[in-house]
Amino acid sequence: MEQVECIVVGGGLAGLSAAYGLASAGAEVMVLERGDYSGAKNVTGGRLYVKPIRRFYPELWDEAPYERPVARELVTMMAGGAHTTVEIASDRFTAGQPQSYTVLRARLDQWLAEKVGEKGAMVVPNMKVDELLRKDGKVTGIRAGEDEIGAQVVIVAEGVLRLLSSKAGLTSEPQARHHAIGYKEVIELPAGVIEDRWRLNPGEGAAHLFMGDCTKGMMGGAFLYTNKESISLGMVVGMDDMRRRRDGSESWQLLDEFKELPQIKPLVAGGTVAEYSAHSIPEGGISQVPKLAGDGYVVAGDTAGLSLNALVTVRGMDFAIASGYFAAQAVLKAKEAGDFSAAGLASYEASLRDSFVLRDLETARSIPNVMENPRLFTHYPQAIGRLLESVYTIDDQPQAGIVKKAWRGVRRDFMSVATVKDAWSMRKI
Amino acid sequence: MDIVVCVKTNPDLQMVRVKDRVAVTEAVPYKIGDLEKNALQAAVDLRAAAGGKVTALCLAVGNRKAAEDVKVALAMGADEAVVIDDPALAAPDQAAVATALAAAVKKIGACDLLLFGEGSTDNYSGQVGARVAEILGLPQIGYARKVEAVGGAVRCERSMDDMLETLEAPLPAVVTVVSEINEPTIPGLMQIMKAKSKPLQVWSLADLGLDAAQLAPTREIVSNLAEEQDRKHILFDGSAAEQADAFVNALIKEGVLGR
């Protein structure tokens, strides 16, 4: 059997980040990517938080092909025809090195794959891996078609579906309950129109999330990110909720209806839909993170369940890149010690636990449970809208004072046993 | 039999979008065209039957990663590859392409058979094979659906609609092939790995003894858009039967039916 030092299964951000670290240190690396090119199969909302990962591979992040630095953050709660938006545009979001950028994965991943190639790794697109080879419990290589290639370590970054790792018993099979379906359109609009509509300085971007009626009470929400000359508009809906819905609506219908809303229509007016894509998203939180390393393998990125939907911040790509970095460091350590066993690779999990990746997931441990509370997507968006709408409403009757109007709303919608319970369950998010 | 196969990398047509009637090729990856893969496969099959060496010859033409992309040809079975990459060849016309290729074939030296696809997947001019044959003064057979080596000659079969034509040319010769000739194999991982260590050379125009002025385009393609057709925007009301009647009547009125 042909042998290489390291095989990376999956040429997404986690796999490429691992390969970049390994190849930079002179290790022999082969990245196997199922798509026509890196990024071909990836979908993101998407925004990449660059600040957390700047210290890994600092030479990369100033030249990466981003779309726009996010200068303006918006969250809209929508119910019963009322949209309430909280908005913040802070100097700190973009000063110096911006904290996050909107991205399109086809460009970003292809660029990173090229960088990995320049470091001497072999990136093979169009290569579907059929099996992770195991011998006496140790991962010894991969099989692609009829070809078996051995490796001292396999970095499994095959993405959310875990097709290979679950079959090989390294991870559990993904369950609908712990996943969401994300789907989006890329809608082309001229740069000037984008900057006018979202009130942006030239080159700057906005990130806009929506909760409430858009998902018809199902767990999830809609998102809108501004790219250079397009917007990414889509939705994320809990897979279980989607599966159990009774009204027969399809995912794409939700998005179509959303685009037709009088509050949304002017945002997309005149745009041309250039792309449509969908993907599953791990949302199980830290309780669904599998064993991260074993004899002859490590698991990174979405395969390791490293993503975090914290309602107003949605992360995954930064975790993927960080996990790839730590995987590479652990493998290099193992190489130096000549020990690719679980013990030799143990520093991978240790460094993830020390880093923001598993710490932030730990902090957010209760979020997946909180998100299962349907009131989050029905009652609260409606209550907030009702409260503010009453404050702003003038009719032909004598008006109560503003504080009285608001207090009425608070008493009606926020002071029940259920809401107090909700507040208690949310105290840790 | 030593064979040189000319391959071109084209923007992946599946990835090209059209915006305001212009093809958006930014960030679109390149790959070796399907017809060139037929030619490569034909070369590999001929080598299996008659021995010799297969060289893939690729003109970069605006693809800065051509030397990477041409490795697919090596994985498919070519023994070595030559890439002609020169800034002066960013947007050449067919004459310039043929001049550069012919010079490279001369430099490669050993070449009994020169294979091309019948045309490239992007512009599909179908001229380059014939032009190279003329420059090199070689016999050429176009649109072959079968190629075999017979003694010191190449025997080709091509479809002439109502008959099959079998032609023979003495070697060295130029042959262009059509897609029916074979089903190109998709290289496996081992073949891809082996391709990495096969010889690959990158030549500039200077290496070929050419200068940019010789290859300046003699013609400029101003536009190659398909004609735009205005839609009639006619909507029919009524029952399905009424709509069908109205539709047929409209087609007759337009002269589409019942001529």
Identify all chain B residues contacting A110, using CB atoms and an 8 Å cutoff: 27, 29
Identify all chain A residues contacting B186, using CB atoms and an 8 Å cutoff: 126
**Nearest chain B residue (CA) to A127:** B189
Chain B interface includes A86 (CB < 8 A): no
Q: Indicate the residue of B14, B189, B196 with minimum beta-carbon distance to A144.
A: B189
- How confident is residue A306, by pLDDT bands cut at 50, 70 and 90? very high
**Is B259's pLDDT higher than 70?**
no
Q: Indicate the residue of A37, A149, A188 with minimum beta-carbon distance to B189.
A: A149
What is the number of alpha carbons within 13 Å of residue A284 lying toward its C-beta? 21
**Is A428's pLDDT higher than 80?**
no
Tell me, what's the pLDDT at A168? 94
Chain B interface includes A106 (CB < 8 A): yes
Instruction: Determine whether the interchain pair A144/B193 forms a contact, defined as Cβ–Cβ distance below 8 Å.
Output: no
Architecture of domain A2-67+104-172+290-354 in CATH?
3-Layer(bba) Sandwich (3.50)
Tell me, what's the pLDDT at A55? 95
**Nearest chain B residue (CA) to A110:** B27
pLDDT in tens, B36-47: 999 999 999 999
Instruction: Determine whether the interchain pair A122/B29 forms a contact, defined as Cβ–Cβ distance below 8 Å.
Output: no
- How confident is residue B23, by pLDDT bands cut at 50, 70 and 90? confident
H/E stretch holding A83: strand A82-89
Q: Name residues 244-303 of chain A within 8 A of B (Cβ).
A: 272, 274
Averaged over B204-214, what is the pLDDT? 92
Identify all chain B residues contacting A30, using CB atoms and an 8 Å cutoff: 193
Chain B interface includes A337 (CB < 8 A): no
Give percent of chain A above pLDDT 70: 100
Instruction: Determine whether the interchain pair A107/B27 forms a contact, defined as Cβ–Cβ distance below 8 Å.
Output: yes
How many CB atoms are closer than 10 A to CB A58? 9
- How confident is residue B62, by pLDDT bands cut at 50, 70 and 90? confident
Tell me, what's the pLDDT at A249? 79
Chain B interface includes A146 (CB < 8 A): yes
Among candidates A39, A37, A8, which has minimal Cα distance to A279? Answer: A39
pLDDT in tens, A37-55: 888 888 887 899 999 999 9
Give percent of chain A above pLDDT 90: 73
Q: Indicate the residue of B29, B188, B193 with minimum beta-carbon distance to A146.
A: B188
How far apart (Å, rounded) are the C-alpha atoms in residues B5 and B53?
11
**Is A109's pLDDT higher than 90?**
yes
**Is B18's pLDDT higher than 90?**
no
Q: Mean pLDDT of all residues in chain A?
A: 93
Chain B interface includes A186 (CB < 8 A): no
- The CA distances from residue B240 to A363, B96, B243, in Å, are 62, 58, 5
Residue with tokens 């003699």, as numbered in its chain: B218
pLDDT in tens, A238-285: 999 988 888 877 888 999 999 999 999 999 999 999 889 999 999 999
Identify all chain A residues contacting B12, using CB atoms and an 8 Å cutoff: 36
- How confident is residue B121, by pLDDT bands cut at 50, 70 and 90? confident
Q: Tell me phi and psi for residue A358, to 5 degrees.
A: -80, -20
Tell me, what's the pLDDT at A54? 95
- Per CATH, domain A177-282 is 3.30.9.90: yes
How far apart (Å, rounded) are the C-alpha atoms in residues A406 and A392?
10
- How confident is residue A1, by pLDDT bands cut at 50, 70 and 90? confident
- How confident is residue B194, by pLDDT bands cut at 50, 70 and 90? very high
Instruction: Determine whether the interchain pair B192/A124 forms a contact, defined as Cβ–Cβ distance below 8 Å.
Output: yes
Distance of CA A199 to the CA centre of its chain: 26
Instruction: Determine whether the interchain pair A110/B29 forms a contact, defined as Cβ–Cβ distance below 8 Å.
Output: yes
Tell me, what's the pLDDT at B226? 82
pLDDT in tens, A394-418: 989 888 888 888 888 888 888 888 8
Residues near A174 by beta carbon (within 8 Å), at least 6 away in sequence: A160, A161, A162, A166, A280, A282
Domain ranges of chain A: 2-67+104-172+290-354, 177-282, 370-425
Q: List the single range of A89-93, A247-251, A396-400, B159-163 with lowest mean pLDDT.
A: A247-251
**Distance between A151 CA and the closest CA of chain B, angstroms:** 14
Tell me, what's the pLDDT at A401? 87
Helix axes A347-354, A356-363, angle to 10 degrees: 60
Whether ipTM > 0.85 holds is no
**Distance between A229 CA and the closest CA of chain B, angstroms:** 12
How far apart (Å, rounded) are the C-alpha atoms in residues B249 and A321?
63
pLDDT in tens, A131-164: 999 999 899 999 999 999 999 999 999 999 999 9
Tell me, what's the pLDDT at A37? 87
Averaged over A2-14, what is the pLDDT? 96
DSSP 8-state class, residue A57: S
Identify all chain A residues contacting B189, using CB atoms and an 8 Å cutoff: 32, 124, 127, 144-145, 147, 149
